[in-house]
Structure 1
Amino acid sequence: MTRQGALDPASGLYFTEHGSASHPAIVLTHSILADGRMWDRQVAWLAKEYRVINVDLPGHGQCPLVPGGVSLASLADGIVKLAAARGLESFHYVGVSLGAMIGYELATRRSTWLASMVACDAPPFAPDNYPALWEARISRAQRDGTAALVEETLQRWFTPQTLARRPDYVEELSETIAQTSAEGFEHCALAISRFDYRDALRACTVRTTLVAGESDGTIPEALQALAAQMPNAVWCEIPGAGHLPNLENPDAFDAMLRRHLSS
């Protein structure tokens, strides 16, 4: 799919837009070390019924760095600024990993903008080891570039079966990871090294689907428990998938997303 978009001056975010402006809007956001291309399959069918805004976050894809760095709050505010600049009053929101963490910020602080939310493969709080874990990765990226993070990132994202059977994923995403600037990675990694949305999400009334690949460590258990505590949330596990279920099991992911949008 052609990636011809624009940089929005109000938010500093790069975006592509697909579908009719008369359709309901949906905003897609990606994980750290990825970009909006990870949603290409979903954009292809969503654009038939929705106005799709597909975002590249700062320092990723075609989006430049934001001077001074970013936070989950500033990224959420950027999504709102982009939506306002495009003339939207509300939108469905779909995010995976970093994108889902931005969704938590939107749902708990800017909820009037959300028609609904799909949050994929992101814990509702940063475990105690997150600051040290991300600092170690930042140090490697600063020293050797983001190419040094390719192998461990792919192993974290995908099951061993997918890595063995889908060399196309390995090649394309290896390039995406390696092309991400070390500073862009650093800014976003620092943004997600400390956060806790548990209490705020338990009070959040936004219609939500919490999603995780079944092989994504402890995240499925955490999100299943969270869904039971939120007043308007449902839980969906994607079989045969790890951290990026929209890529690893797109059929199951698309079925979930269709159910969410039609409910």
Structure 2
Amino acid sequence: MTEKLHFTVSGRGPHLVLAHSLASNSDLWSAQLPLLEKHFTVLRFDIRGHGRSPAPAGAYTMEELADDAIALLEGQGIKKVTWVAVSLGAMIGQVVALKKPDLIEKLVLADTTSGYPPPAQAAWNERIEHVEHDGMNGVVNGTLSRWFTEGFQTKHPDKFGRIREMILATNPAGFIGCGNAIRDFDVKSETHRISCPTLVMVGEHDQATPPDMARGIAASIPGAKFVLIPDAAHQAAVEQPSFFNAELAKFLNLVEAP
């Protein structure tokens, strides 16, 4: 990709990357920024096809998405980062850690997978078809039902509405391109090579990437820590920010409480 990704930098200290999920953008991390900006120079970027980054037509691969991120970091002269990510961003993080092990100092993988079984791959084909025919309206309701527990909309209408608008604002070409990358993603046989300290977190009610997937990732990475987030589904950092931030602070050895 010749065009550069959109990104923002804030805070001070060693570098930390925040990578978002499919059908969102770098604003997804608003509940984590107050904590992390006290301790890190935080770089948030919009993944290819999302937010203000370019959305070329066609299928993307996870390798390409990882190369985008590596090029961004190298372009900023960044040689070492802590990578904190959810879902698609955490898939990209796994590939970056495998391709450039010296680049990733610590890795936080939230609500993600190392590869889907065939039935889930078929579901991705259906979602891609929905977006091809109906745009983001074709997947917004199903996405929200997977992302949040029942009742979240009633308890937190502002948060829910913000995420709904984020989904609808996603470029359909970006969703389709990244959807192909997610469908075809599989590093299950390689994650044992990830050598940096790793935290794997997942919402206990995550339907999109169920807890057993996260347990499998944690079991495959030497020394990885596994945390189950109560009363949360796929967007656990949004749904249970206090719990998520507390676990993040412990793993990153932050002195201040979140």
Deviation at 1:148, TM superposition (A): 2.2
If asked which structure has higher relative contact order (CA below 8 Å, sep 6+), I would say 2
Deviation at 1:85, TM superposition (A): 1.3
Indicate if the aligned counterparts of 1:11 and 1:82 stay in contact, CA closer than 8 A: no
Name the TM-score, length of structure 1 as normaliser: 0.91
**Alignment pair present for 1:167 and 2:187:** no
In structure 2, what is the equivalent of residue 250 of structure 1?
241
Over the aligned positions, Cα root-mean-square deviation in angstroms equals 1.7
Name the TM-score, length of structure 2 as normaliser: 0.92
Deviation at 1:10, TM superposition (A): 6.8
Q: Return the alpha-carbon distance in structure 1 between the equivalents of residues 56 and 100 of structure 2.
A: 21
Deviation at 1:66, TM superposition (A): 3.5
Q: Return the alpha-carbon distance in structure 2 between the equivalents of residues 223 and 203 of structure 1.
A: 16
Q: Return the alpha-carbon distance in structure 1 between the equivalents of residues 149 and 160 of structure 2.
A: 12
| Match 1:14 to one of 6, 9, 20 | 6
Deviation at 1:187, TM superposition (A): 0.3
Q: Return the alpha-carbon distance in structure 2 between the equivalents of residues 243 and 229 of structure 1.
A: 21
**Alignment pair present for 1:38 and 2:28:** yes
Aligned residue for 1:193, secondary structure, equals: helix
| Match 2:110 to one of 113, 120, 124 | 120
| Match 1:220 to one of 211, 216, 223 | 211
Distance 1:203 1:158, change over 3 A: same
Indicate if the aligned counterparts of 2:59 and 2:177 stay in contact, CA closer than 8 A: yes
Aligned residue for 2:205, secondary structure, equals: coil
Distance 1:112 1:66, change over 3 A: farther
Distance 1:27 1:53, change over 3 A: same
Indicate if the aligned counterparts of 2:90 and 2:112 stay in contact, CA closer than 8 A: yes
Indicate if the aligned counterparts of 2:56 and 2:173 stay in contact, CA closer than 8 A: no
**Alignment pair present for 1:138 and 2:128:** yes
Instruction: Single out whichever of 198-207 and 221-230 deviates more from structure 2.
Output: 221-230
Q: Return the alpha-carbon distance in structure 1 between the equivalents of residues 86 and 92 of structure 2.
A: 9
Aligned residue for 2:43, secondary structure, equals: strand
Indicate if the aligned counterparts of 1:118 and 1:210 stay in contact, CA closer than 8 A: yes
Aligned residue for 2:108, secondary structure, equals: strand
Aligned residue for 1:199, secondary structure, equals: coil
Indicate if the aligned counterparts of 2:197 and 2:224 stay in contact, CA closer than 8 A: yes
In structure 1, what is the equivalent of residue 18 of structure 2?
28
In structure 2, what is the equivalent of residue 74 of structure 1?
64
**Alignment pair present for 1:95 and 2:85:** yes
Q: Name the aligned partner's letter for residue 188 of structure 1.
A: C
Indicate if the aligned counterparts of 2:5 and 2:47 stay in contact, CA closer than 8 A: yes
How many residues were matched structurally? 253
Aligned residue for 2:226, secondary structure, equals: strand
Aligned residue for 1:176, secondary structure, equals: helix
Indicate if the aligned counterparts of 2:57 and 2:173 stay in contact, CA closer than 8 A: no
Q: Return the alpha-carbon distance in structure 2 between the equivalents of residues 78 and 181 of structure 1.
A: 18
- 1:79-134 deviations in Å (ceiling 9; x for gaps): 11111111211100011010111011112222111001001111221111233211
**Any unmatched runs of 5+ in structure 1?**
1-8
Aligned residue for 1:252, secondary structure, equals: helix
Indicate if the aligned counterparts of 1:10 and 1:82 stay in contact, CA closer than 8 A: no
**Any unmatched runs of 5+ in structure 2?**
none
Deviation at 1:12, TM superposition (A): 2.2
- 1:171-217 deviations in Å (ceiling 9; x for gaps): 11111111111111100000010222122112321210011001113
Q: Name the aligned partner's letter for residue 234 of structure 2.
A: H
Q: Return the alpha-carbon distance in structure 1 between the equivalents of residues 54 and 214 of structure 2.
A: 32
Instruction: Single out whichever of 124-133 and 46-55 deviates more from structure 2.
Output: 124-133
